Amino acid sequence: MAKNSLIAKLVCAKGRNTEFEAELATLIEASNEEAGLEIYSVHRGVDDVYWFFELYTDDAAVAAHGKGDAMGVAMAATGAFLAAPPEIHRLTPVVAKGLNI
């Protein structure tokens, strides 16, 4: 069964980066409740744009994402800092260094 990856673009509201990054830390902590989520990392780009890289064991793990209590609360709180809806791309990993795909 193929693993799944997601790349998500989140645009933070101007002047809210410090608060947003603190909330992102809570989101990362909440991700520990998701057994099929292998990698959940966030990266800051330019112009208040943040990028998530996510790696899941399978389709079921992607479907379960955000369904747990802690993750649901954290995702809702993070959404309050967004200047636009998230842009999410679902992918299938092909080759990688450092990832067991």
The pTM of the full predicted model, rounded to 2 decimals, is 0.91
pLDDT (average), residues 7-30: 96
Q: Is CATH 3.30.420.40 the classification given to domain 4-91? A: no
pLDDT at 99: 87
Q: Are 13 and 48 in contact (CB under 8 A)?
A: yes
Q: Are 37 and 72 in contact (CB under 8 A)?
A: no
pLDDT at 100: 86
pLDDT digits (tens, 9 = 90+) for 23-79: 999 999 999 999 999 999 999 999 999 999 999 999 999 999 999 899 999 999 999
What DSSP character marks residue 45?
-
